[in-house]
Amino acid sequence: MSKTSRIPGFYKLTPEERLKKVAEFADLTQEEQDLLRRFGALDERIANRMIENVIGVFQLPLGIAVNFLINGKDYMIPMVIEEPSVVAAASNAARMTRAGGGVYTQSTESLMIGQIQLVGVKDPYGARLEVLRNRDEILELANECDPVLVKLGGGAKDLEARVIETRLGPMLIVHLIVDVKDAMGANAVNTMAEAVAPKLASITGGRFRLRIISNLADRRLVRAWTRIPPEAVGGREVAEGIVEAWAFADADPYRAATHNKGIMNGVDAVVIATGNDWRAVEAGAHAYACRLGRYKPLSTWELDEKGNLVGTLEMPLAVGIVGGATRTNPLARISLKILGVKSARELAEIIGAVGLVQNLAALRALAAEGIQAGHMSLHAKNIA
């Protein structure tokens, strides 16, 4: 009997019924099926509501990075990741930053961009001015979509319009700037973008196409910085090696990609632990790294006039503490409780600090001993 993945109504089946179909298709053993039936802390009913066609839960380790002092406050950092040495390295590097007072952060408001694409506009530059003339009416229309967000002080705050040249001719792109407060904001922004699109088409005489959030959240930035005495990282030579490693990344996109991957080791681990969208954060981070026309590191490292090692990081971080999996997944709620965060901006600043510290850990290992020394010892424990 031939096997087929064409299964009408698969989405209507229960997880158990789906599992039986998959087991038949893939010749899963009884032991393998039993493993998939272990939903653990994420209840089957919750998992089945979160995504489609559920048959089980794929679990990853949840670890805690310690020693973090951020803006004068101690934090325990929940991290979900499969890679050995990341949590240990973050904890060790966080300890080093304490010699200089820890990590300090700041962030901008939680502003997200909703894009509305308008095509077939006969006079795009004239239409752009018409859109801007109708700014207040368009913002009011957008805010009618989410009175609760507006009541909390958020909502659509501004409007931008620009003409871009494409292979298919000019297009008018309208940006709706929305303060999403403590949410990541995709649902609110997308709803507003869809609501104002017909009005924009009417004003411009064009046709609307895409109406969606942009993951290049360059209005929602986090900055983290630390100043560390050289002896805390292993001496002047190690500190200089860290700066030289950064200079390599600054000059070479091949190295910059790996440099930023080390930052995202820490960033993604906390984003996942708190139930946020790590693909959106990754997309925004790498797009931001290219904003000057060439792929660059998200951090900088230098020595100040006293020989202290100074690290800074700036990146977009669109994360929330309400809505989505941050509330659906009970482990995400526990992670947020461990962090003790009171706002999305506080969470974003913590994540930025973790990214900077993770970067320090990787650069120090490369400059002082080579990345494999600590990594492979922990990897050996992992496979023993």
Identity of the amino acid at 94:
A
- The verdict on whether 375 is a catalytic residue reads yes
Other C-beta atoms closer than 10 Å to the C-beta of 108 total 16
Write the CB contacts of 1 (distance below 8 Å, at least 6 apart in sequence).
none
Nearest to 266 by CA among 92, 72, 73: 92
- Asked if residues 189 and 180 have their Cβ atoms less than 8 Å apart, the reply is yes
Please identify every stretch of the chain with a pLDDT value under 70, giving residue numbers as ranges.
1, 370-384
The architecture (CATH level 2) of 69-108+220-383 comes to Alpha-Beta Complex (3.90)
The DSSP-derived string for 140-157 is HHHHTT-HHHHHTT-EEE
Write the CB contacts of 258 (distance below 8 Å, at least 6 apart in sequence).
249
Q: What is the pLDDT of residue 384?
A: 47
Residue among 259, 286, 296, 375 flagged as catalytic: 375
Nearest to 173 by CA among 117, 112, 114: 117
Rounded to whole angstroms, the Cα distance separating 22 from 200 reads 47
Residue among 83, 160, 218, 314 flagged as catalytic: 83
Rounded to whole angstroms, the Cα distance separating 57 from 48 reads 10
Q: Where are the beta strands (DSSP E) in 71-185?
A: 73-80, 104-107, 111-119, 155-166, 169-179
Rounded to whole angstroms, the Cα distance separating 381 from 281 reads 31
Identify the CATH number of the domain defined by range 111-213.
3.30.70.420
Is pTM, for the whole model, over 0.85? yes
Residue among 277, 286, 346, 349 flagged as catalytic: 277
Residue positions counted in the chain: 384
* Domain segments of the chain as ranges: 10-50, 69-108+220-383, 111-213
Q: What is the pLDDT of residue 369?
A: 76
Residue among 20, 199, 261, 379 flagged as catalytic: 261
Token representation of residue 305: 């006039």
Rounded to whole angstroms, the Cα distance separating 65 from 95 reads 10
Q: What is the pLDDT of residue 325?
A: 85
Token representation of residue 102: 């820890």
- Asked if residues 243 and 302 have their Cβ atoms less than 8 Å apart, the reply is yes
3-state secondary structure of 355: helix
In degrees and rounded to multiples of 5, residue 89 shows phi and psi of -65, -40
- The verdict on whether 261 is a catalytic residue reads yes
Q: What is the pLDDT of residue 326?
A: 85
- Asked if residues 227 and 308 have their Cβ atoms less than 8 Å apart, the reply is yes
Q: What is the pLDDT of residue 48?
A: 96
Q: What is the pLDDT of residue 371?
A: 47
Other C-beta atoms closer than 10 Å to the C-beta of 51 total 8
Burial status of residue 8 (CB atoms within 10 A of its CB: 0-12, 13-18, 19 or more):
exposed
